[in-house]
Structure 1
Amino acid sequence: MTWYSFGLLVVLLTGACTNKEESKVNGIEFKANDSEFEILETNDLFINYLEQVDTTEDAKELYDKEIIQPIYDSCFKDGENIHMVEDFLTHPPDDLMLLKSNVDAYDSTRMFKNIKQSLTKSSEYLQGDKKTTVCILPTINKEDPDGFNVGSGKNLIYTHLFDSDQGIQTIIAHEYHHSVWTEKFSSSFSGTVLDNLVFEGKATLFEEIVMGTVSVDWSYNKALWGTIEGDLFKKDLDRTLDILNGNDEIPYRYGYSEGYKIVKSYLEEYPDTSIEEWTKLDAMTIFEKGKYVEKFYQ
């Protein structure tokens, strides 16, 4: 269901540092706004992997042993969207130069600081009942997303050489919203293109609430809308991904912008709706009561 997307000081204020020796994964656990959080980093695992991969005949076996098994329970197990990361779980990196560049550039203090800050601020507006875990992964392949929600309480963030502090925090806020929604409200999801537009639109709006800014395309292109309108109520994963992320005919991240504007349109009609209330609402209610087509495409 989720395609991409997306505490103040590392341990000094509200968190306690833990080193998971049994799995060789470094991380911190902390509490904020009556919520529990865990941040895990995998960089040392990938350093070990890179040191050995050229000397082994079975990279897949090494990858499973050194990378997947130490983090599987915390980052993937029982995730509602785990099927969407099957390629990561089963295929070793194919671009070792890219992987090494991101591993070498990794800044642990900076990543922990930004993720903790974003989680703390995000939980001021919306809380889940489960502990939220964020697993930090180096970019392995050029097509890797910025972030991914594996399911309730399980989020991934991929490090890139061009990451900014604001970018890191924005991705975390986006995936945090997905995580809470999946935990509390996913029963209303039927899997249509519209469901996914609104799903991403909610998380994008939440970015704006947490970060104070958002990057969307505010144009209302009637001809472009006409190319997707007939697909809104279909359950078609490939078409959904094309609309969300763009292709030769659809602009980059078109579905994120359109989904955001659909949710904003609803809130213009019902401005007193709380964050938890509009997070809970099903996509059809938001779409129809927000009068989106009536306002902009008729």
Structure 2
Amino acid sequence: MKTLGKVLLIPAFCFMFMGCSNHEPVKKKEPEDSHITFSQEEQKFEIIYMYDEMQDYIDTVREQTGKSNETVFIEKVFEPFKKKSNMEEISLRYTFKPSSEVDKLGQSIKELEKNKDMTNRIIKEALLKSAKELPGKDKKYVILPANPEDTFTVEQMGGVSGFVLSEYVIVLQLSPSVQEDILKYTVAHEYNHLIAEESNRGMIRGILGGVVLEGKADAFAHTIYPKIEVPWQEPMTTEEREKVVAEITELRYSSDMKSYEKLREGISSKDIPQWANYKIGYEIVQSYRKNHPETSIERWTSMHEAEIIAGSDFEKITAYEGVSSND
């Protein structure tokens, strides 16, 4: 979809656009309901809410200090975020945009605070289910309110978007309209991205890699929650599929984020549907799984896209003749 902006979706494909580092955690006492920890066997999880920091941003903007919204946002939200997530080297421009609609943002925070217990329950349930199927290293989920200007998240993403920052950290942005099923699904989807990153740390991915990466995450989330339906899994027609395959075959080695985003948005002039990258990625991975039912979730999650494609019914997408599956 966040993530997976930014959507569930800004794929781990965006690792190639940002430098990240993980330092020792900054020791700072957190309000009990803003920092939740739990475990699945030896794997530890943290849910970190940043509603208070966002409220500080709103209050400071309202004071009309003469500082720009971006300056205030960096001071009140972004710098604390970097410390809490241990992501000291990330760039603001690849992650967040400060909202100018502070009154609407403040109202969103109030509504999200009321539902925090439910949000905790949903995220914890989804993480424990995901970790049981696919254990890994310790993980953090950082929760922020979505910008009121982000109508895409509200109208098409079920009120939640997510994106990966490292093999340890996911950001979820929520609106008060967040749907329980979509939140569960998104948590599982993004969790698979984290495990994939553990296996392929620092790997540079092109468009084709991003397509397969999203397919893995959707295949995993569908395994955890088989009854939850998401719009980006609606099947394509034969004609749509042929055009999408032709497009990603042409773009496969590109690392142009704009071209990748066009696949998500759809290209009407080429009759390529919205969510094309997710749709075809999901079909590729499910085709591989059908052809190789003996392959474990852990194995195909860590597999290079070349191997996935070569073992699927979409091997014509690119010439990976020399690649074979070692299941």
Distance change in 2, residues 1:158/1:226 (3 Å): same
Structure 2 contact 167–201 (Cα < 8 Å) conserved: no
1:161 to 149, 153, 176: 176
TM-score by length of 1: 0.83
The one-letter amino acid paired with 2:291 is: E
- Counterpart position of 1:70: 80
1:62-111 Cα offsets, whole Å, 9 max, x none, are: 322221222212326168xx45x52545x532232442232121021111
Distance change in 2, residues 1:223/1:92 (3 Å): closer
**Residues of 1 paired with 2:70 and 2:48: CA distance?**
23
Distance change in 2, residues 1:262/1:138 (3 Å): same
Structure 1 contact 115–172 (Cα < 8 Å) conserved: yes
Q: CA deviation at 1:224?
A: 4.0
- 1:237 paired with 2:257, answer yes
Instruction: Tell me the SS of whatever aligns to 1:163.
Output: coil
Q: Map residues 243-282 of structure 1 onto 2, 5 A cutoff.
A: 243-249=263-269, 250-282=272-304
- Counterpart position of 2:146: 139
Instruction: Tell me the SS of whatever aligns to 1:202.
Output: helix
Instruction: Tell me the SS of whatever aligns to 2:251.
Output: coil
Structure 1 contact 174–203 (Cα < 8 Å) conserved: yes
Distance change in 2, residues 1:183/1:54 (3 Å): same
Q: CA deviation at 1:30?
A: 0.9
Point out the more displaced range, 277-286 or 134-143.
134-143
- 1:57 paired with 2:77, answer no
- Counterpart position of 2:214: 200
- 1:209 paired with 2:223, answer yes
Q: Which structure 2 residue ranges, 5 or more long, are not aligned?
A: 10-26, 154-159, 318-327
The one-letter amino acid paired with 2:107 is: S
- The share of aligned pairs that are identical, in percent, is 22
Q: Map residues 29-178 of structure 1 onto 2, 5 A cutoff.
A: 29-55=37-63, 56-58=65-67, 59-75=69-85, 77=87, 82-83=90-91, 86-88=93-95, 91-106=97-112, 107-129=115-137, 131-140=138-147, 141-142=149-150, 146-178=161-193
In the comparison of the two structures, how many residue pairs are matched? 276
- Counterpart position of 2:325: none
Structure 2 contact 208–305 (Cα < 8 Å) conserved: yes
The one-letter amino acid paired with 1:61 is: T
Q: CA deviation at 1:29?
A: 0.9
Structure 1 contact 98–139 (Cα < 8 Å) conserved: no
Q: Which structure 1 residue ranges, 5 or more long, are not aligned?
A: 7-18
Structure 1 contact 20–27 (Cα < 8 Å) conserved: no
The one-letter amino acid paired with 1:133 is: K
Point out the more displaced range, 244-253 or 52-61.
244-253
Instruction: Tell me the SS of whatever aligns to 2:36.
Output: strand
- 1:286 paired with 2:294, answer no
1:3-58 Cα offsets, whole Å, 9 max, x none, are: 5315xxxxxxxxxxxx9536998211111132100001111222222222121211
Q: CA deviation at 1:61?
A: 3.2
Structure 1 contact 36–132 (Cα < 8 Å) conserved: yes
Q: CA deviation at 1:168?
A: 1.0
Structure 1 contact 25–45 (Cα < 8 Å) conserved: no
Structure 1 contact 23–70 (Cα < 8 Å) conserved: no
The one-letter amino acid paired with 2:73 is: Y
**Residues of 1 paired with 2:84 and 2:57: CA distance?**
19
Point out the more displaced range, 141-150 or 64-73.
141-150
**Residues of 1 paired with 2:180 and 2:300: CA distance?**
28
Structure 1 contact 193–234 (Cα < 8 Å) conserved: yes
Instruction: Tell me the SS of whatever aligns to 1:191.
Output: coil
**Residues of 1 paired with 2:254 and 2:70: CA distance?**
37
The one-letter amino acid paired with 1:225 is: V
